[in-house]
Amino acid sequence: MWILSGLAAFCVVPWYAIEDGFFSFDWRYGFPLAAEGAPAPLQALFHGKTWLLPLAAPFVAALAVSFRPRGETLRARVLVTAGLLGLVYGLAQGFAIGPLSAGPHQVGMGWGALIVHASLLLITAEGLSTWAFSRPDPFVAGALVSIAALVLLFVVYPMGIISLRAFETDTGEYSALVFLRNFTSARLWHVTFNTVLLGALAAFGSTALGLTLALSVARSPKKWTGAFRLFSVLPIITPPFVIGMALIVAFGRAGAITHALHLDGSSYIYGLPGVLLSQLLAFSPVAFLVLVDALAGISPSMEEAAQTLRASPWLTFRTVTLPLLKPALANAFLVGFIESLADFGNPLVLGGSGFEVLAVEAYRAVTGAQADIPRAGAVGLVLLALTGVVFVAQQRFVGQAGYTTVTGKGDSGLPLPLPRALDRLTLSLSAGWTVFTLFIYALVLTGGFVKALGKDNSPTLEHFTALFGRGGGAWSSLFTTVGLSLIAAPLTAVFALLTAWLLARQDFRGKRSFEFSTMLAFAVPGTVVGIAYLLAFNTPPFDLIGTGAVLVLSFVFRNMPVGIRSGLAALSQLDKSLDEASLTLGASTSGTVRRVVFPLLKPTVAVALVYGFVRAMTAVSAVIFLVSAEHNLSTTYILAQVESGQYGRAIAYSCVLIVAMLLAIVGVQLAFGRRNIGRRALA
Amino acid sequence: MSAVRFHQVSKQYGDTVAVREVSFDIPPGTLVTLLGPSGCGKTTTLRMLAGLELPTSGSILIAGKDVTRLAAHERDVAMVFQSYALFPHLRVVDNVRYGLDVLGRDGAEAKAGAALKTVGLAGLESRWPNELSGGQQQRVALARALVLEPKVLLFDEPLSNLDARLRRRMREEIRELQQRLGFTAVYVTHDQDEALSISDRIIVMDKSVVVQEGTPRELYETPKTRFVADFMGESNIVEAQVKSGRIELGKLSLPTTRADGPVQLAIRPHAIQLAPGNDATVQRATYLGDHLEYDVESPLGRLFVVSHALSAPLKAGDKVSVTLQPEAGGVVIL
Answer yes or no: are the C-beta atoms of A650 and A359 closer than 8 Å: no
Cβ distance of A584 and B129 shorter than 8 Å:
no
Question: Could you give the residue ranges of the DSSP H alpha helices within B40-107?
Answer: 42-50, 92-96, 98-103
Question: Rounded to whole angstroms, how far apart are CA atoms A572 and A139?
Answer: 21
Q: Which helix (H) or strand (E) holds B303?
A: strand B301-307
| Sign, CA torsion B185/B191/B192/B197 | negative
Residue A576 C-alpha, separation from nearest chain B C-alpha, in angstroms: 8
CA distances from B73 to A585, A592, A643, B94 (A): 7, 10, 61, 18
Cβ distance of B85 and A578 shorter than 8 Å:
yes
Q: Which of A167, A655, A632, A213 is nearest to A428 (CA)?
A: A213
pLDDT in tens, chain B (334 residues): 889 999 999 999 888 999 999 999 999 999 999 999 988 999 999 999 998 888 989 999 999 999 988 888 888 899 998 888 888 888 999 999 998 988 888 888 999 999 999 888 988 989 988 888 888 998 999 999 999 889 899 999 988 888 888 888 889 999 999 999 999 999 999 998 899 999 999 999 999 999 999 999 999 888 888 899 888 888 888 888 888 778 877 777 777 777 888 888 888 888 888 888 888 899 999 988 888 999 999 888 888 998 888 888 888 888 998 888 776 667 887 7
Q: What per-residue confidence (pLDDT) applies to A404?
A: 40
| Sign, CA torsion B111/B115/B120/B124 | negative
* Burial class for A681, CB neighbours closer than 10 Å (0-12, 13-18, 19+): middle
Answer yes or no: are the C-beta atoms of A155 and A138 closer than 8 Å: no
Q: What per-residue confidence (pLDDT) applies to B25?
A: 94
Percentage of chain A modeled with pLDDT above 70: 73
Question: Is the pLDDT confidence value at A477 over 90?
Answer: no
pLDDT tens-digit map of A424-435: 888 788 888 888
Chain B CB contacts of A575 below 8 Å: 83, 85
Question: Rounded to whole angstroms, how far apart are CA atoms A35 and A80?
Answer: 33
For residues A2 and A547, which has the higher predicted lDDT (pLDDT)?
A547
Answer yes or no: are the C-beta atoms of A635 and A623 closer than 8 Å: yes
Mean pLDDT for A559-568 is 80
Mean pLDDT for A49-68 is 72
Q: What per-residue confidence (pLDDT) applies to A398?
A: 61
A136 in contact with B, Cβ within 8 Å: yes
Whether omega before A490 lies within 30 degrees of 0, making that bond cis, reads no
Q: Please tell me which residue of chain A has the smallest CA distance to B97.
A: A585
Q: Which of A42, A78, A87, A84 is nearest to A60 (CA)?
A: A78
Answer yes or no: are the C-beta atoms of B13 and B1 closer than 8 Å: no
Answer yes or no: are the C-beta atoms of A557 and A521 closer than 8 Å: yes
Could you tell me the pLDDT band of residue A100, with boundaries at 50, 70 and 90? low
What residue type is A6 in one-letter code? G
Determine how many CB atoms are found less than 10 A away from the CB of residue B218.
16
Q: Mutate which of B82, B86, B128, B160 to disrupt the A interface (most A C-beta within 10 Å)?
A: B86
For chain B, give every domain's residue range.
4-223, 236-333
Instruction: Tell me the residues of B at the A interface, defined by beta carbons under 8 Å apart.
Output: 50-52, 54, 69, 71-73, 75, 77-79, 81-89, 98-99, 102-103, 128-131, 137, 141, 144-145, 148, 154
Could you tell me the pLDDT band of residue A239, with boundaries at 50, 70 and 90? confident
Question: Rounded to whole angstroms, how far apart are CA atoms B90 and B103?
Answer: 17
CA A314 centroid distance within chain: 40
Interhelix angle A186-219/A322-342, nearest 10 degrees:
140
Q: Which of A22, A1, A354 is nearest to A190 (CA)?
A: A354
Interhelix angle A548-572/A526-536, nearest 10 degrees:
130
Most confident range, picked from A30-39, A304-313, B61-70, B235-244: B61-70
Q: What per-residue confidence (pLDDT) applies to A572?
A: 76
Assign residue A321 a region (left: φ > 0; alpha: ψ between -120 and 50; beta: otherwise): alpha
Answer yes or no: are the C-beta atoms of A75 and A127 closer than 8 Å: yes
Helices (H) and strands (E) in chain A, counts: 31, 4
pLDDT tens-digit map of A111-122: 667 777 777 777
Could you tell me the pLDDT band of residue A411, with boundaries at 50, 70 and 90? very low
Instruction: State the SS3 of A305-352.
Output: HHHHCCCCHHHHHHHHHHHHHHHHHHHHHHHHHHHHHHCCHHHHHHCC
Nearest to A680 among B52, B130, B154 (CB): B130
CA distances from A518 to A113, A514, A557 (A): 25, 6, 8
Answer yes or no: are the C-beta atoms of A288 and A232 closer than 8 Å: yes
The topology under which CATH files domain B4-223 is Rossmann fold (3.40.50)
DSSP-derived pairing of the beta strands A538-539 and A542-543: antiparallel
Could you tell me the pLDDT band of residue A334, with boundaries at 50, 70 and 90? confident
Q: Which CATH class is domain A474-682?
A: mainly alpha
Q: What per-residue confidence (pLDDT) applies to B188?
A: 95
Determine how many CB atoms are found less than 10 A away from the CB of residue B51.
24
Chain A CB contacts of B144 below 8 Å: 581, 585
For chain A, give every domain's residue range.
2-132, 181-455, 474-682
| Sign, CA torsion A212/A213/A214/A216 | positive
Nearest to A581 among B54, B85, B130 (CB): B85
Cβ distance of A584 and B89 shorter than 8 Å:
no
For residues A181 and A558, which has the higher predicted lDDT (pLDDT)?
A558
Answer yes or no: are the C-beta atoms of A37 and A111 closer than 8 Å: no
Could you tell me the pLDDT band of residue A657, with boundaries at 50, 70 and 90? confident
Q: Which helix (H) or strand (E) holds A481?
A: helix A474-505
Could you tell me the pLDDT band of residue A21, with boundaries at 50, 70 and 90? very low
The pTM score is 0.77
Torsion angle (degrees, nearest 10) of CA A370, A375, A377, A381: -160
Q: What per-residue confidence (pLDDT) applies to A24?
A: 45
Mean predicted lDDT score pLDDT of chain A: 75
Q: Which helix (H) or strand (E) holds B153?
A: strand B152-156
Answer yes or no: are the C-beta atoms of A220 and A418 closer than 8 Å: yes
A410 in contact with B, Cβ within 8 Å: no
Cβ distance of A586 and B102 shorter than 8 Å:
yes
Taking the domain A181-455, which CATH number applies? 1.10.3720.10
